[in-house]
Structure 1
Amino acid sequence: MYATVVAVIVVVGVLFAYQANVLLDRSTATDRARSDRQAQQAVDREQAAFVSTVTPLDYDRDLPEAFTVLLDRPLTEGEQAGLTALTGDRSEVWELLKPLGGRVVEHASYVAPFEDGNENRGHAQTFDLNLNSDRAAGLTINNMTAVKDSCRVPTAQTVVTLPPAGAESRQGLLWDLTGGPTDEPHGPYVLDEGEPREGQLYFRRNVVELGNGQSNMAFRIQPEVSTHTCEWHIVASYTDTTGAHEQRIPSGAGTFTTEAIPSQPVQYFERPPTSGWGCLGAVTQQDCPATGYIRLPKPPAPRPVPD
Structure 2
Amino acid sequence: MVVAAVVVLGGLVFAYYANYALDRATSTDRARSDKNAEKTVDREQPAFVSTITPRDYEQDMPEALYVLLDRPLTASEQATLTAIKGDASQVWAFMKSLGGRIVEQASHIAPREDGNENRGEAQTFNLNLNSDRSAGRTINGMTAVKDTCSAPTAQTVVHIPPAGSEPRQGLLWDLTGGKADKPNGPYVLDDGESQGKLYFHYNVIELGNGQSNMAFRIQPEVSTHTCKWHINASYTDTSGYHTQRIPKGSGTITTEAVPQKPVQYFGYVTTTGWGCIGRMSQKGCTATEHLPSR
Instruction: Using structure 2 for the length normalisation, give the TM-score.
Output: 0.96
Match of 2:196 among 189, 195, 199: 199
Equivalent residues, number: 294
Partner of 2:147: 149
The one-letter amino acid paired with 1:37 is: K
Q: Is the 8 A contact 1:268 1:296 kept in 2?
A: no
Say whether the 8 Å CA contact 1:278–1:288 is kept in structure 2. Answer: yes
- Output one character per residue of 1:258-304: Cα deviation in whole Å (capped at 9) or x when no partner: 0000111111100011321110111111111211222455xxxxxxx
Distance across 2 between alignment mates of 1:117 and 1:42: 47
Q: 1:74 to 1:117 in 2, by over 3 A?
A: closer
Partner of 2:32: 34
Q: Which moved more, 1:53-62 or 1:251-260?
A: 53-62
Unaligned runs of 5+ in 1: 298-307
**Code of the aligned partner of 2:249:** G
TM-score computed with the length of structure 1 as normaliser = 0.92
Equivalence for 1:213: 210
Distance 1:168 1:151 in 2: 29
Corresponding residue number in structure 1 for 2:280:
283
Q: Which moved more, 1:115-124 or 1:131-140?
A: 115-124
Equivalent residue number for residue 9 of structure 2: 11
Are 1:78 and 2:76 matched, yes or no? yes
Structure 1 residue 167: Cα displacement: 3.8
Which one of the candidate residues 91, 94, 99 is aligned to 2:92? 94
In 2, Cα distance between equivalents of 1:126 and 1:11: 77
The one-letter code matched in structure 1 to 2:102 is V
2:169 maps to 1:171:
yes
* Structure 2 residue ranges without an equivalent (≥5): none
Shift of 1:67: 0.6
Matching residue of 1:110: 108
Distance 1:163 1:137 in 2: 48
Match of 1:294 in 2: 291
> What's the RMSD between the two structures over aligned residues?
1.4
Kindly provide the amino acid, as one letter, of the partner of residue 204 in structure 2: V
Could you say if the C-alpha distance between residues 282 and 116 of structure 1 is closer, same or farther in structure 2, counting changes exceeding 3 Å? Answer: closer
Report the Cα offset of residue 61 of structure 1: 1.6
In structure 1, what is the Cα distance between the partners aligned to 2:254 and 2:264?
23
Distance 1:75 1:256 in 2: 28
Identical counterparts, % of pairs: 67
Aligned to 1:274: 271
